[in-house]
Homo-oligomer: A and B are copies of this chain.
Amino acid sequence: MKAYKDMSKEELLTLKAALEEEFKEEEAKGHNLNMARGKPGFSQLDLAMPMLDVVNSTSDMRTVLGNDTRNYGDLDGIGECRRLMADMMGVKKDNVVVCGNSSLNIMYDTVSRSMTKGVNGSTPWCKLDKVKFLCPVPGYDRHFAITEFFGIEMINIPLYDDGPDMDLVEKYVSEDAAVKGIWCVPKYSNPTGISYSDEVVKRFANLKPAAEDFRIYWDNAYCIHHLYDDMQDEILNILDECEKAGNPDMVYIFSSTSKISFPGSGVSAVASSQANIDFIEAQMTIQTIGHDKINQLRHSRFFKNIDGLKAHMKLHAELLRPKFEAVLDTLESELAGLEIGTWIKPRGGYFVSFDALPGCAKNIVAKCKALGVVLTGAGATFPYGKDPQDSNIRIAPSFPTPEEMAAASKVFVLCVKLASVEKLLEDMN
């Protein structure tokens, strides 16, 4: 296989003509495929349907402690659900508050509260001239949307195979008191799929922030979302590491069952130090009388414990693996050696991240769209939607069937090839 960059103009023009022919053929097929969002597929959702039976009109609606889940009370979540989420997040039950249906909402509330009330008594961010967040890139568009919404300046930090560029993180955090946070997806990162190494986690825990109200926003969304039995990433416990390092209050951990039970009808949780939890609850008690405890009961009774959660996620993995492999196999068989793109084979999570030749991502996404294959918008994985290299594309294989993923992947590599040829030819002029 000859690398495109080594081709002559003539070779590229010949290739271009052939690819354009293929493009027309695909166009004629009238595809209608979507790889844009990390939505679980129908078969995954079906796995959780029996959960809807475990709490019914004949159920005892009381918690283990005897509290009626149907009435007000238990602001921090019912005990058995706190236990379940604590075990999933690898923290102590006392450090967990179970919330509503969305960890994104907890993150939003956490930033919003910092704007109006500060962090554990610090100056409210809305009173400051400048607040900045570090954003490992590529990253999760909805994280960046929250900080952008509140007018927080976002600073790109390169994300490597073992985590963010920690030299840069340490420099910013220790030197600039306006830096108040960093968005992290430490395990099976969205979108690259990498997990933070032990060294990276330790360096996080040992940060020496210039700002007392600096916090790590640790979105452990994919903590038990492995794709393989025999290749599972594990990350160090950041809460323990922060405590060891004398920074007990420096991290908020977020997670949810959105991609375990039902997106939108799961339960979410935040874990942190007692001081942070106290501050969060002082706000939460103003915001709500309590979250949906019947749904918490439903989750606790269906999954029973961490082993139940893990067994359920094994079933998810069996459904997701063929979809991921459909993409990865196509990338490998069609693009290897062409030097027009790189990607990481993830061992878990929800995405495959593809780096095209600089300047090609938008064109690839547009071409796919023209063929009826919807991808996440190019740039979405960067703050302000601006990928400085116009290179990164997030592929979400979970929602289509494996067959659809194979068809979509075929379209994708075709568009990568064509956009790359166009770019190389353009660069020659």
Contact = CB atoms under 8 A, between A and B. Distances in A.
A262 interface: yes
Contact of A262 (B71, B127, B150, B283): B71
Contacts of A115: 115-116, 126
B126 A263 contact: no
Nearest to A116: B115
Contact of A283 (B102, B149, B264): B149
Contact of A101 (B53, B100, B108, B264): B100
A14 interface: no
Nearest to A75: B264
Contacts of A45: 61, 68, 70-71
A53 B49 contact: no
B108 A116 contact: no
A264 B287 contact: no
Contacts of A149: 117, 283, 286
A53 B264 CA distance: 20
A164 interface: no
A312 to B, nearest CB: 15
A105 B53 contact: no
Contacts of A289: 102, 104, 142, 263-264
A49 B127 CA distance: 48
Contacts of A102: 288-290
Interface in A30-81: 37, 39-40, 42, 45, 48-53, 55-57, 59, 61, 68-73
The 5 lowest CB-CB distance pairs between A and B, nearest first, are: A126-B126, A265-B294, A49-B57, A108-B287, A45-B70
